[in-house]
Amino acid sequence: MKAIVADRAFSLEEGNHFYELDIDTPQPQDKELLVRVEAISVNPVDTKIRQSPVQNGPRILGYDCVGTIEAIGDNVTLFDIGDTVYYSGSPDCQGSNQEYQLVNEQLVALKPQNLSNIEAVGIPLTALTASETLFDVFGISHIAEDNVGKSILIINGAGGVGSIATQIAKQYGLYVITTASRDATVEWSQQMGADVVLNHKEDLRAAFKSHELAEVDFVFCTFSTDMYYEVMIDLVKPRGKIATIVAFNDKQDLNLLKNKSVTFTHEYMYSRPLHKTDDMIMHHRYLNDVTANLEAGIYQPTTNKVIEGLTAESLYTAHELLESNQMIGKLVINLIND
């Protein structure tokens, strides 16, 4: 089968070091599914890992996937051969930039029946990240009425994670404030359901005052934690919670959290599969919840760019688009027309 691989870390300025390789089709064991890959989504995490050292190469990148189950391990109980599924996998396994992939069934859900492959494949990684942040980190209730009166600031509301986080937060009762700057990103964030969209190129503290916005219960940072660290502390309520998916590049003063007793958390949705936690099944459950809301027409897909065909060249182009920081929503590569 075909896989798009790289033997070493590289920056885009070095040229395209992805290449096509023919490898054996793997066989599922235990709780593994063998999935025929039909569409993939390319995420910022792909670009970061592309630039990290390769261990036991060649390395196959890729997380989000939609595909059909072709074979199952002996202990699979959640799915059958022929099911069409979606998932985001785990960094400790070879990725979805190949024709067939193995994945643990606990990380997988049935694809929403009302969505095409290219619509569905933009969902898993971002929806899992948003769900873990909202329910696990912020501790919001699964009963929307319990969350009424609470508010959240999502920094970079038009990005992949921000787009689905806005929808989930609205569905479960939160008042949602997002940031964007271009007309297109402001419009997109409003389309996702944001109550207020602020210009992140301006002083957010001043913007809160001009819009008569009170301090928020939660802040979810999906862009440059260093840039917004002190701003987030100023804008969150006493005893509020801040979560980020972006690692610090600089040293920050954690003592700044003390005055308001602010909880600060790094969210990484691959912690469960990487550490094989007892509750790894939560990926399956969170995706099932997202699927139900998609099929009910409450959530909308966030795919906004589609590239046809998985090749070394198309994958390199996808990485270029992501690193331009101009993407709105999700970028998808379609392997098989559905």
pLDDT tens-digit map of 228-260: 999 999 999 999 999 999 999 999 999 999 999
User: What's the CA gap between 17 and 333, in Å, rounded?
Assistant: 18
Residue 282, pLDDT above cutoff 60 = yes
Buried b (16+ CB within 10 A) or exposed e, 73-99: beebebbeeebbbbbbbbeebbbbbbb
Residue 198, pLDDT above cutoff 70 = yes
Task: Identify the bridge partners of residue 219 per DSSP, sorted by sequence position.
Answer: 153, 242
What's the confidence (pLDDT) of residue 79?
98
Check whether domain 2-123+275-334 has CATH 3.90.180.10, yes or no: yes
How would you classify residue 174: left for phi > 0, otherwise alpha for psi between -120 and 50, otherwise beta? beta
Please indicate whether the domains covering 2-123+275-334 and 129-266 agree at the CATH topology level.
no
Q: Which two tokens stand for residue 307?
A: 């590239």
Residue 314, pLDDT above cutoff 50 = yes
The domain ranges of the chain are: 2-123+275-334, 129-266
Cα–Cα distances (Å) from 202 to 197, 224, 247, 248, 328, in that order, read 12, 15, 23, 22, 20
Residues 118, 45, 19: CA angle, nearest 5 degrees: 75
What's the confidence (pLDDT) of residue 55?
87
| Nearest alpha-carbon partner for 154 in 143, 141, 170 | 170
DSSP state letter for 337: -
Contact status, residue 37 vs residue 64, Cβ threshold 8 Å: no
Cα–Cα distances (Å) from 40 to 37, 119, 261, 307, 318, in that order, read 7, 10, 41, 10, 11
Residue 201, pLDDT above cutoff 90 = no
Residue 181, pLDDT above cutoff 90 = no
Contact status, residue 2 vs residue 311, Cβ threshold 8 Å: no
What's the confidence (pLDDT) of residue 144?
97
Give mean pLDDT, residues 99-117. 97
Q: Which two tokens stand for residue 21?
A: 């390789």
Banded model confidence at residue 337, pLDDT cuts 50, 70, 90 = low
What's the confidence (pLDDT) of residue 338?
45
What's the confidence (pLDDT) of residue 209?
96
Give mean pLDDT, residues 212-220. 97
User: What's the CA gap between 113 and 208, in Å, rounded?
Assistant: 40
pLDDT digits (tens, 9 = 90+) for 18-71: 999 999 999 999 999 999 999 999 999 999 999 999 988 899 999 999 999 999
Choices 2.60.120.10, 3.40.50.720, 3.40.50.10860, 3.40.50.620: CATH for 129-266: 3.40.50.720
